[in-house]
Amino acid sequence: MSTNDSTRSSDFIRDIVAEDQRTGNWDGRVHTRFPPEPNGYLHIGHAKSICLNFGIAEEHEGGLCNLRFDDTNPLKEEQEYIDAIKEDVRWLGFDWEDREYFASDYFDQLCAWAVQLIQAGKAYVCDLDADQIREYRGTLTKPGKDSPDRNRSVEENLVLFERMRAGECPDGSRTLRAKIDMAHPNLNMRDPVMYRILHAAHPRTGNKWCIYPTYDFTHGQSDSIERITHSICTLEFENHRPLYDWYLDALEVYHSRQIEFARLNLTYTVMSKRKLLTLVREGYVSGWDDPRMPTICGLRRRGYTPEAIRSFCERIGVAKFNSTIDIALLEHSLREDLNQRAPRVMAVLRPLKVVIDNYPKGQEEELDAVNNPEDPGMGTRKVPFSRVLYIEQDDFREDPPKKYYRLAPGREVRLRYAYFIKCVEAVKDETTGEVVELHCTYDPETRGGGAPDGRKVKATLHWVSAAHALQAEVRLYDHLFAKEYPEAVDEGSDFRANLNPNSLHTLTSCRVEPSLAGAPAESRYQFERQGYFCVDSAGSSDAKLVFNRTVSLRDTWAKIEKTQNSGQ
């Protein structure tokens, strides 16, 4: 009776799969694969593909999704990346069970298929070097011309290819090419290279091979071997589909269907592995897992949850239009998730000392605070209160502007879960004029935060007890790039010019409530009224707590203040 099935998010790829299921194509099977190249870390764009491929498999009875490393280029690929990719896919919550494959597992089969194409007169060894091949290829508007080696005999090709394989030819001296059509309007069909000579050790096959198949000669056949039904990839491979189909047809093997969708772009960041590598290599960030990076490990260290990333991937949809998603949507998905599950805690980032003049010296007490108003099941905790406290510098103004509800001379506010306090004096540094300490009085009747006489205060502030608070470092992050579209640059400049110089602020004298002692790495909290924070997985220890700001809370006051200022 429910409409859940019909309102379930759909897209043109899911429609194709559903139609295939309806008509009984693929014997009713659904089998996808996620095929990363282990030449870098996974990013949020890969998460879109992971959610798509694993998601579609999960949605169908008996559906499967393989993890397959597309490791055909030993020059760029490393074991470190293989390990990191597996960790990230797992962390996102997907399970490939025992279906962990490598294109390099198929090198023997691929080589045999190459021989088969030679024997069928559909492939030849070409002695042209890279520059010559480019020359012979022609241009977008002009047809190419045939390689002088195009009509070698099958026997000669067989011998030459064997010599390539045996290591008798230097790198780049020859290639194995498919014999298709040098005048084809699609450049990918102008006798594409199937095998190149690369005397390089491969992370998995070591020195077994000195010839390596190209992507085009590998991918479709890998899909075929794994009996993939829907081979989902990004738009730039659309031009390769005719070749994908050509190889599978020429080989007369199981033929998966390639479907292309638009890759993910996000505002205020870059998504290409090459550019991310540049940021890492040139030290603009601390590493692939820098919390400002759009990598999965960076997002994890920043405090993102897999659930938030997955719900984001669901709501952005899948289409063929090249779009750029507003990063606010990612942040929305995050806040939505964290709001439900992050325990609340009080932390003062920029401390301002407050002395409660009429609170007895030496007295302290414990007050009840709720851990998560969204989830009463998370219970309550005790927070210590005493005569000397810290509040946020921002929560006091000597000269409060319009609509500023917080503390000011003579004003009364509530300390969350504690008491109403009234400011009686602001002590200033004589030389700088800066407010360094507040003197307040409290109303003992308001213990716990309620006023028996029903009087109201406009603001509730977070605070910590000076004597009980823990020292902490907090890193505030902003967008990595200052421009919404960092890749849009003037001639002669590049995306690095758009880096945001203020993407990281480190605050070293923060005070957090004592319940945070021993908080484990990656644990997430809401610092009340400020945002979501998580314990840094690299820099934090019991001796020195370090928190990363995951995302701030929506800040209505900041918005008001901003319009007030711009209105002047």
Partner RNA sequence: UGGGGAAUAGUGUAACGGCAGCACGAGUGACUCUGGAUCACUUAGUCUAGGUUCAAAUCCUAGUUCCCCAGCCA
Q: Which residues are catalytic, by number?
A: 37, 263, 273
Q: Is 201 in the site for RNA (CB under 7 A)?
A: no
Q: Is 235 in the site for RNA (CB under 7 A)?
A: yes
Q: How far is the CB of 415 from RNA (least distance, A)?
A: 8
Number of H helices, E strands in the chain: 14, 25
Q: In this structure, what DSSP letter does residue 376 have?
A: G
Is the Cβ of residue 43 or residue 414 nearer to RNA in the bound state?
414
Q: Which of 151, 239, 358, 471 binds RNA (CB under 7 A)?
A: 239
For the segment 466-525, give every residue that binds RNA (CB under 7 A).
Answer: none
Is the Cβ of residue 96 or residue 136 nearer to RNA in the bound state?
136
Maximal C-alpha separation, the chain? 102
Part of the chain binding RNA (CB under 7 A), chosen from 24-32, 90-98, 158-166, 230-238: 230-238
Q: How far is the CB of 542 from RNA (least distance, A)?
A: 26
State the alpha helices, DSSP H only, in 140-234: 154-165, 215-225
Part of the chain binding RNA (CB under 7 A), chosen from 215-223, 291-299, 302-310, 494-502: 215-223
Q: What does the angle CA 35 – CA 36 – CA 41 come to, to the nearest 5 degrees?
A: 160
Q: How far is the CB of 376 from RNA (least distance, A)?
A: 12
Q: What are phi and psi of 337, to 5 degrees?
A: -75, -50
Q: Which of 182, 277, 325, 436 binds RNA (CB under 7 A)?
A: 325
Part of the chain binding RNA (CB under 7 A), chosen from 51-59, 202-210, 372-380, 511-519: 372-380
Q: Is 379 in the site for RNA (CB under 7 A)?
A: no
3-class SS string, 406-453? CECCCCEEEECCCCEEEEEEEEECCCCCCEEEEEEEEEHHHHHHCCCC
Residues in the chain: 568
Task: For residues 106 and 225, give the distance between their C-alpha atoms in angstroms, rounded to a whole number.
Answer: 8
Is the Cβ of residue 94 or residue 420 nearer to RNA in the bound state?
420
Tell me which residue of 170, 196, 200, 191 sits closest to 78, measured CA to CA.
Answer: 200
Handedness of CA 374, 512, 507, 298 (dihedral sign): negative
Over the window 164 to 193, marking each residue x when it contacts RNA by CB under 7 A and - when it does not, the resulting string is: -------xxxxx---------xxxx---xx
Task: For residues 7 and 13, give the distance between their C-alpha atoms in angstroms, rounded to a whole number.
Answer: 16
Q: Is 256 in the site for RNA (CB under 7 A)?
A: no
Q: In this structure, what DSSP letter does residue 43 have?
A: B
Q: Which of 90, 134, 199, 505 binds RNA (CB under 7 A)?
A: 134
Q: How far is the CB of 240 from RNA (least distance, A)?
A: 6
Question: Which two tokens mark 29?
Answer: 């099977």
State the alpha helices, DSSP H only, in 30-188: 44-58, 79-92, 107-119, 130-137, 154-165
Q: In this structure, what DSSP letter does residue 349 have?
A: S
Q: Is 449 in the site for RNA (CB under 7 A)?
A: yes
Distance of CA 243 to the CA centre of its chain: 32
For the segment 5-64, give every residue that binds RNA (CB under 7 A).
Answer: 10-12, 15, 35, 37
Q: Which of 133, 271, 309, 545 binds RNA (CB under 7 A)?
A: 133
Task: For residues 441 and 424, give the distance between their C-alpha atoms in angstroms, rounded to a whole number.
Answer: 7
Q: How far is the CB of 436 from RNA (least distance, A)?
A: 22
Task: For residues 320 and 564, give the distance between their C-alpha atoms in angstroms, rounded to a whole number.
Answer: 42
Q: Which of 116, 286, 339, 523 binds RNA (CB under 7 A)?
A: 339
Q: How far is the CB of 366 from RNA (least distance, A)?
A: 14
Q: How far is the CB of 43 from RNA (least distance, A)?
A: 14
Over the window 405 to 444, marking each residue x when it contacts RNA by CB under 7 A and - when it does not, the resulting string is: xx-------x-xx---------------------------
